[in-house]
Chains A and B, each alone.
Chain A
Amino acid sequence: MADATPSIAEQATIWRKLVAARIRADWQYRTSFVLFTVSQFVAAFVDIAVVLVLFTNVDRLAGWSVAEVAFLYGTASLAFGLADVFVSEVEFVAHHIRHGSFDRFLLRPVGPLLLLSGHEFAFRRAGKVFQAALVLAVAVTQVDVGWDAARVAMVVQMVVVGFLIFSGIWVVTSSIAFWAVEIREVANSFTYGGNFLAHYPMEIFSGWLRRLATIVPLAFVSYYPALWVLGRNDPHGSPAWLRFAGPLVAAGVVLVARAVWSSGIRHYRSTGS
């Protein structure tokens, strides 16, 4: 008999198989599949189109050039897009609880989070990842930066840290469903809202929003590290070490997310649906 807790490799296989199954199932409805994928891809471009439209009216936004804002946009959106592909499925907890189908996920010898992610995978979300990568690639060539190994590494770190932060936010806000399934939508303010916010330099926001963006650590996704990469100063005088605090913040977010999710499952199992 196999061991009760699957190894990382086993979990990866299970996830892969579930995702493949989901794609095969969705492919049965070909037209819808294609249309949805196309629309998501187009939708992704609307986002950056907005930024470009805004820049037809000004040269600089709070002192940031269009390329610099595109850099913020690219890193944040890429991180967000990856989280959207692999982790956003956790949003469906609310749907399953409402329809009484969440119990199924608790009957398997695998964590429900993994099952949800594989089960509710949607291929169309990948569109955003490609679009973001494209924008980031262009931005990287357009900004006035002396690219060295350290800076390149920092960009990679930004995406990884951002991915973990957005994933954590997704898990934590989706867990609301365990306690109050009707207000699940509040999560969107933090996930999609967070992505929106991280496209722009923190300077444009009022003090309270900047502080909020440091606690729900959106500022660590793109802004703080970008300050270092782009060689910019923070007019609000934040300490320099914040720009390198990404990994630490991400680790904290992951721990918090795990705790909240476990707590949510425990609550579900002790109060029933």
Chain B
Amino acid sequence: MALIRLEAVEREFAVHQRVGRVRRRRQVVRAVDGISFDVSAGEIVGYIGPNGAGKSTTIKMLTGILMPTAGTVRVDGLDPQRARTELAMRIGVVFGQRNQLWWDLPLRDSFELLRHVYRVPAARHAGRLAEFVDLLDLGPFLDTPVRQLSLGQKMRGEITAALLHDPSILYLDEPTIGLDVVSKSRVREFLARVNRELGVTVILTTHDLSDVERLCSRVMVIDLGRLVYDGTVDDLKARHGQYRTLVVDLEAPNGPLAVDGAEVVRVEGPRQWLRFHRDRKTAAELIADIARITPVVDLTVEEPRIEDVIALLYGRAEKD
């Protein structure tokens, strides 16, 4: 039995547009247009899509903030519509851009307050907090007011706050936004660990595709309210990432190389980037072709980048 199950879920919004000075026209917008998926316990799922695709709306329906206009939602056997408070005990939510910690008080106080809100026994809470303090290195700033924390520290605090009551599911909305590379890596490491060691199922929406690549076993791409891809990251790249890039360092700068089956996408001095379709030409053939034109000093082959893959997917969905 899947931990999370969505069946044919729809969500319509009535949008009022002002026409002229007084009258308003009522338009119905389908933010979510028939989405179905299952998530099993223990998965880390990336939920991505362009802005306005319906990501936040889906998360809101999963957490009980919003009710679907059609379809069913089941999370841990519960219907978020009816069992909001019961479900709230079992989930944790982190918003990347909106914090839930108490702004003017030490981080420690926020944890203590949430302990009461979630009715976690003191001893268990203390033990768990100690674990997280260790894992995320919260010690140095546990007594600092939240408003004085850096973005990275705040995010670590937020994630801890969301996990202290031992939820089975963690939802994160843009958790690495605005963080520097080191902090991002830390957060990802932590999430992977939490998933591995505590068995927490993680649903993550993000615009940072390296989050998806490094962290998620599974990725769902949503666009215009519909699911356009649901599978592994590798499959995504394999299926939709047909173009590879050959980066060559020539002996001397040259005009863009004219080679059959490849397209020069970038030139920087003696270095050129050539895009080629993996099925129509092999890397070896291409290198040989280039070497016939001009001496090659060094080369690398770049696998499809997920950004390009996604962009292609979005573009494709729009055309549909």
Contacts and interface: CB of A to CB of B under 8 A. Distances in A.
A106 B84 CA distance: 8
Interface in A127-180: none
B85 A269 contact: no
Nearest to A5: B85
B85 A110 contact: yes
B151 to A, nearest CB: 19
B113 A2 contact: no
Contacts of A106: 63-65, 84
B311 interface: no
B254 interface: no
Given A17-B116, A25-B104, A100-B98, A270 B65 contact: no
Contacts of B100: 104
A272 B63 CA distance: 13
Contacts of B84: 106
A270 B118 contact: no
A272 B102 CA distance: 25
B104 A28 contact: yes
Interface in B4-55: 13-14
B216 interface: no
A109 B98 contact: no
B102 A110 contact: no
Interface string A97-110: 00011011011111
A6 interface: yes
B113 A107 contact: no
A1 interface: yes
Nearest to B80: A269
A146 to B, nearest CB: 48
Interface residues of B, number: 35
Contact of A2 (B13, B89, B104): B89
A82 interface: no
A103 B104 contact: no
B113 A18 contact: yes
Given A14-B117, A28-B104, A104-B100, A4 B85 contact: yes
B89 A1 contact: yes
A189 interface: no
B13 A272 contact: yes
Contacts of B145: 28
A106 B14 CA distance: 22
Interface string B83-103: 111101111010000101011
Interface string A107-124: 111110001000000000
A270 B104 contact: no
B66 A14 contact: no
8 nearest CB pairs, A to B: A2-B119, A4-B86, A25-B104, A109-B88, A109-B85, A109-B89, A17-B116, A270-B67
Interface of A: 1-6, 10, 13-14, 17-18, 21, 24-26, 28, 100-101, 103-104, 106-111, 115, 269-272
12 contacts: A5-B85, A21-B102, A21-B109, A24-B104, A25-B103, A25-B104, A25-B105, A28-B104, A106-B63, A106-B84, A109-B117, A272-B60
